[in-house]
A and B are shown apart, each in its own frame.
Chain A
Amino acid sequence: MSPVSQRNRETDSAQLPDDQPALVAVRDAGVVRNGRLIWEHVCVDVAAGEFVAILGPNGVGKSTLLKSILGLVPLTSGEIRLLGHAPGRANHQVGYLPQRRTFDASLRIRGRDVIRLGLDGHRWGIPLPGRRSRAAIARVDELIALVDAGAYADRPIGQLSGGEQQRLLIAQALARRPRLLLLDEPLDSLDLPNQAAVAALISRICRAEGVAVMMVAHDVNPILAYLDRVIYLGHGGAVSGIPAEVITSATLTALYGTPIEVLSTSDGRLVVVGQPEAPAHHSDRHGGQP
Chain B
Amino acid sequence: MTTSLALADPIGVLTHPFAQHALLAGTAVAAAAGLVGYLLVLRAQVFTADALSHVAFTGALAALAIGLDARLGLFALTVLVALGMGALGHRARPDDVIIGGVFAWILGLGTFFLTVYTTTRSAGNGAAGVTVLFGSIFGLDAARADVTAVIAAAVCAAVLVIARPLLFASLDQAVAAARGVPVRLLGYAFLTLAAVTTAEATQVTGALLILGLLAAPGGAAARLTARPLRAMGLSAGIAVASVWIGLTASYAVPALPPSFAILTVATLGYLGAIIATRTRRRKVKFRLRHS
Binding site for B on A (CB under 8 A): 70, 72, 91-92, 94, 96-98, 100, 103-104, 107-110, 113-114, 117-118, 120-127, 154-156, 172-173
Q: A126-B160, A126-B164 are in contact. Are A121 and B181 (CB under 8 A)?
A: yes
Instruction: Report 15 cross-chain contacts, Cβ distance below 8 Å, ordered by A residue.
Output: A91-B180, A92-B180, A98-B174, A108-B222, A113-B228, A114-B171, A117-B167, A121-B167, A121-B176, A121-B181, A122-B165, A122-B176, A124-B161, A124-B162, A125-B164
B227 & A125 in contact (Cβ 8 Å cutoff) = no
Per the bound structure, the CA–CA distance linking A283 and B225 in Å amounts to 50
Q: Which residue of B lies closest to A125 (CB)?
A: B161
Would you give the 0/1 interface string for B211-248, flagging 1 where the beta carbon is closer than 8 Å to chain A?
Answer: 00000000000110111110100000000000000000
Q: Which residues of A contact B164 (CB under 8 A)?
A: 117, 120-121, 123-127
Per the bound structure, the CA–CA distance linking A72 and B178 in Å amounts to 7
Q: Which residues of B contact A173 (CB under 8 A)?
A: 175
B85 contacts the other chain (Cβ, under 8 Å)? Answer: no
Per the bound structure, the CA–CA distance linking A121 and B182 in Å amounts to 12
Interface centre among A103, A120, A126 (most CB of B within 10 A): A126
B47 contacts the other chain (Cβ, under 8 Å)? Answer: no
Q: Which residues of A contact B44 (CB under 8 A)?
A: 104
Per the bound structure, the CA–CA distance linking A126 and B35 in Å amounts to 13
Other A-B contacts than A110-B227, A121-B176, A122-B180, 10 sampled, CB-CB below 8 A, are A103-B171, A104-B44, A107-B42, A109-B171, A113-B226, A122-B176, A124-B162, A125-B161, A126-B163, A155-B226
Task: Give the dominant DSSP class at B's interface.
Answer: helix
- Identify which of residues 165-185 in chain B touch chain A, using a CB-to-CB cut-off of 8 Å: 165, 167-168, 171-172, 174-181
Per the bound structure, the CA–CA distance linking A94 and B180 in Å amounts to 12
Binding site for A on B (CB under 8 A): 42, 44, 160-165, 167-168, 171-172, 174-181, 222-223, 225-229, 231
Looking at the assembled complex, report how far the CB atom of B13 sits from the nearest CB atom of chain A, in whole angstroms: 32
A109 & B228 in contact (Cβ 8 Å cutoff) = yes
Q: A122-B165, A125-B164 are in contact. Are A98 and B172 (CB under 8 A)?
A: yes
Q: A121-B167, A124-B164, A126-B164 are in contact. Are A108 and B178 (CB under 8 A)?
A: no
B168 & A121 in contact (Cβ 8 Å cutoff) = yes
Q: Which residues of B contact A122 (CB under 8 A)?
A: 165, 168, 176, 179-181
Q: Which residue of A lies closest to B229 (CB)?
A: A126
Per the bound structure, the CA–CA distance linking A108 and B172 in Å amounts to 14
A70 & B161 in contact (Cβ 8 Å cutoff) = no
Q: Looking at the complex, which one of B174, B181, B225 makes contact with A96 (CB distance below 8 Å)? A: B174
Per the bound structure, the CA–CA distance linking A97 and B171 in Å amounts to 13
Per the bound structure, the CA–CA distance linking A119 and B167 in Å amounts to 13
Per the bound structure, the CA–CA distance linking A172 and B178 in Å amounts to 13
B175 & A97 in contact (Cβ 8 Å cutoff) = yes
Per the bound structure, the CA–CA distance linking A154 and B168 in Å amounts to 18
Per the bound structure, the CA–CA distance linking A107 and B43 in Å amounts to 10
Q: Which residue of B lies closest to A156 (CB)?
A: B226
Q: Which residues of A contact B165 (CB under 8 A)?
A: 121-124
Q: Looking at the complex, which one of B172, B179, B223, B225 makes contact with A92 (CB distance below 8 Å)? A: B179
A96 & B178 in contact (Cβ 8 Å cutoff) = yes
Per the bound structure, the CA–CA distance linking A53 and B180 in Å amounts to 26
A108 & B226 in contact (Cβ 8 Å cutoff) = yes
Q: Which residues of A contact B172 (CB under 8 A)?
A: 98, 100
Looking at the assembled complex, report how far the CB atom of A68 sits from the nearest CB atom of chain B, in whole angstroms: 12
Q: Which residues of B contact A126 (CB under 8 A)?
A: 160, 163-164, 229
Interface centre among B167, B168, B229 (most CB of A within 10 A): B168
